[in-house]
Amino acid sequence: EERLEKAGFSARAVVVKVKYEDFRTVTRRRTLPHPVHTAEALRREAETLLRNLSLETGVRLLGVGAEGLVAPAAAAATQTSLFPTT
């Protein structure tokens, strides 16, 4: 969602939850190769997860979430250099 981007956070994973009309619930999660922060990137990943789920029966609830949130400074801090600077 745009709130993620406005708050300056990135997500390491995307989660999709589907609750069907019979109250059966299915959750799918994908850890991303790189943290993302835009609503568009999260939407693309959620659509990929949804393609692998059956949506032909009635759906009561559909949720998309971001997990593994990192602040911009934390994301930059995890980047290390291969060569030491002198």
d(CA 32, CA 50): 16
> Strand order in 59-70's β-sheet?
25-36, 10-20, 59-70
d(CA 16, CA 30): 9
pTM of the predicted protein model: 0.73
d(CA 57, CA 21): 7
- The tens digit of pLDDT for each residue in 9-60 reads 899 999 999 999 999 999 999 999 999 988 889 999 999 999 988 888 889 9
pLDDT of 86 over the 80 cut:
no
